[in-house]
Structure 1
Amino acid sequence: MKSLVLERKGELSLRDFAIEPAEASLGARDVRIKLHTVGICGSDVHYYTHGRIGPFVVEEPMILGHEASGLVIEIGADVTSLAVGDRVCMEPGIPDPNSKATRLGMYNVDPAVRFWATPPVHGILRPSCVHPEAFTYKLPDNVSFAEAAMVEPLAVGVHAATKARIRPGDVAVVMGAGPIGLVTALSAIAGGCARVYVSDLAEKKLQIAESLSSAITGVDASKESIADRVKAETDGWGCDIVFEATGSPKAAARIFEPLAPGGCVVMIGGQPDPISYDAGAAMIREARVENIFRYAHVFPRCVKMLSSGTIDVKPLITRTFGFEDSVKAFEIAASAPPSDVKMQIELP
Structure 2
Amino acid sequence: MKALVLEEKMKLSLRDFPIERDEVLGPRDVRIKLHTVGICGSDVHYYTHGGTGVFQVKAPMILGHEASGTVIEIGAEVTSLKVGDRVCMEPGIPDPNSRATRLGLYNIDPAVRFWATPPIHGVLRPSVVHPADFSYKLPDNVSFAEAAMVEPLAVGVHAATKAQVRPGDIALVIGAGPIGLVTALSAVAAGCARVFVSDIDDAKLELAAKLGPISPVNVARQELAREILAATGGWGVEIVFECSGHPAGAQGVFDPLSPGGRVVFIGSQVHPIHYDVGKAMVREARVEHVFRYAHVFPRCVAMLSSGAIDVKPLITRTFDFDESVRAFEIAASAAKGEVKMQIALPQ
TM-score range, shorter chain: over 0.9
Q: Report whether the alignment pairs 1:136 with 2:151.
A: no
One-letter amino acid of the counterpart of residue 3, structure 2: S
User: Which of 300, 306, 309 lines up with 1:311 in the alignment?
Assistant: 309
TM-score (norm 1): 0.99
Deviation by residue 1:139-194 (Cα, 9 ceiling, x = unmatched): 00000000000000000000000000000000000000000000000000000000
User: Matched residue of 1:78: which SS?
Assistant: coil
Q: Report whether the alignment pairs 1:15 with 2:15.
A: yes
Structure 2 unaligned blocks of 5 or more: none
One-letter amino acid of the counterpart of residue 271, structure 1: Q
Number of aligned positions between the proteins: 346
Matches within 5 A, 1:201-216: 201-213=200-212, 215-216=213-214
TM-score (norm 2): 0.99
Contact 1:65 1:116 in 2 (8 A): yes
Q: Distance in 2 between matches of 1:122 and 1:276?
A: 35
Query: What's the CA shift for 1:112?
Result: 0.2
Deviation by residue 1:2-21 (Cα, 9 ceiling, x = unmatched): 00000000000000011164
Matches within 5 A, 1:1-348: 1-19=1-19, 21-22=21-22, 24-213=23-212, 215-348=213-346
Structure 1 unaligned blocks of 5 or more: none
Query: What's the CA shift for 1:234?
Result: 1.2
Contact 1:255 1:277 in 2 (8 A): no
One-letter amino acid of the counterpart of residue 82, structure 1: L
One-letter amino acid of the counterpart of residue 340, structure 2: K
The structure 1 segments of at least 4 consecutive aligned residues displaced by more than 4 Å after TM superposition are none
One-letter amino acid of the counterpart of residue 155, structure 1: A
The worse-fitting range, judged by mean Cα deviation, of 225-234 and 123-132 is: 225-234
One-letter amino acid of the counterpart of residue 16, structure 2: D
Q: Distance in 1 between matches of 2:247 and 2:4?
A: 32
Contact 1:54 1:273 in 2 (8 A): no
User: Matched residue of 1:161: which SS?
Assistant: helix
One-letter amino acid of the counterpart of residue 2, structure 1: K
The worse-fitting range, judged by mean Cα deviation, of 330-339 and 61-70 is: 330-339
Deviation by residue 1:66-100 (Cα, 9 ceiling, x = unmatched): 00000000000000000000000000000000000
Q: Distance in 1 between matches of 2:276 and 2:283?
A: 11
